[in-house]
């Protein structure tokens, strides 16, 4: 799958106080001031927080997403004609995580479901940090696993096929939230 990306720029990460590096795929060739300005603009537009009652501000983000999914210029005949989806920083997580939106046709053609996990959020713990930020820890419990049979029906009560590296507790997902500006 080939994904396009939106919302990544050094300025957007700095504005959100996201303690992360700009992903390698989002680095702009610095020999073009125009490219850097366009990247900063589209990242600012795509990652702006929208308050309730101001949903009209999503119109420009939607237009950027539609353009990002438009047909590619075919330089290589072996290259895909369309992007499979878009990747963008998670605004609700202060740009610390990434979201991936894949076109349904691409999911149907290129992906296969191999496992379903029934999870519950057992608890959320909040810890204030000395710098004014907050650390959140989530306790997630897996209740059951299912895999599809040959007809696509889910068969519950299966063992998980997902193997985590030694020492990784998959039920704990800490998230660091920075202090407000």
What would the pLDDT profile of 149-170 be if each residue is shown by its tens digit? 999 899 999 888 776 667 666 5
Half-sphere exposure of residue 19: CA atoms within 13 angstroms, side-chain side? 6
Backbone angles phi, psi at 156, to 5 degrees: -80, 165
pLDDT band at residue 180, thresholds of 50, 70 and 90?
very low
**Mean pLDDT over residues 3-18, rounded?**
90
**Percent of the chain whose pLDDT exceeds 90:** 31
CB-based burial label for 99 (10 Å; 0-12, 13-18, 19+) = middle
Give the start-to-end residue ranges of the domains of the chain.
Answer: 3-110, 116-177
Orientation angle between helical segments 58-68 and 33-46, nearest 10 degrees: 130
- Nearest-angstrom CA–CA distance, 11 and 40: 6
Smallest Cα–Cα separation from 121: which of 133, 137, 134? 137
- Nearest-angstrom CA–CA distance, 108 and 52: 34
């Amino acid at each position: 799958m080939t994904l396009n990306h939106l919302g990544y720029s050094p300025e957007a990460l700095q504005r959100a106080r996201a303690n992360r590096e700009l992903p390698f795929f989002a680095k702009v060739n610095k020999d073009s001031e125009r490219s850097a300005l366009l990247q900063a603009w589209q990242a600012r537009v795509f990652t702006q927080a929208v308050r309730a009652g101001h949903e009209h501000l999503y119109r420009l983000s939607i237009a950027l997403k539609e353009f990002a999914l438009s047909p590619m210029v075919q330089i290589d005949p072996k290259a895909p004609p369309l992007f499979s989806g878009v990747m963008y920083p998670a605004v609700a997580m202060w740009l610390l995580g990434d979201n991936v939106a894949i076109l349904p046709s691409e999911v149907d053609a290129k992906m296969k479901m191999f496992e379903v996990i029934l999870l519950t959020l057992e608890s959320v713990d909040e810890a204030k940090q000395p710098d004014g930020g907050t650390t959140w820890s989530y306790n997630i419990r897996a209740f059951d696993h299912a895999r599809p049979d040959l007809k696509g029906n889910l068969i519950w009560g299966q063992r998980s096929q997902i193997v985590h590296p030694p020492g990784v507790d998959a039920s704990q997902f800490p998230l660091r939230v920075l202090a407000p500006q």
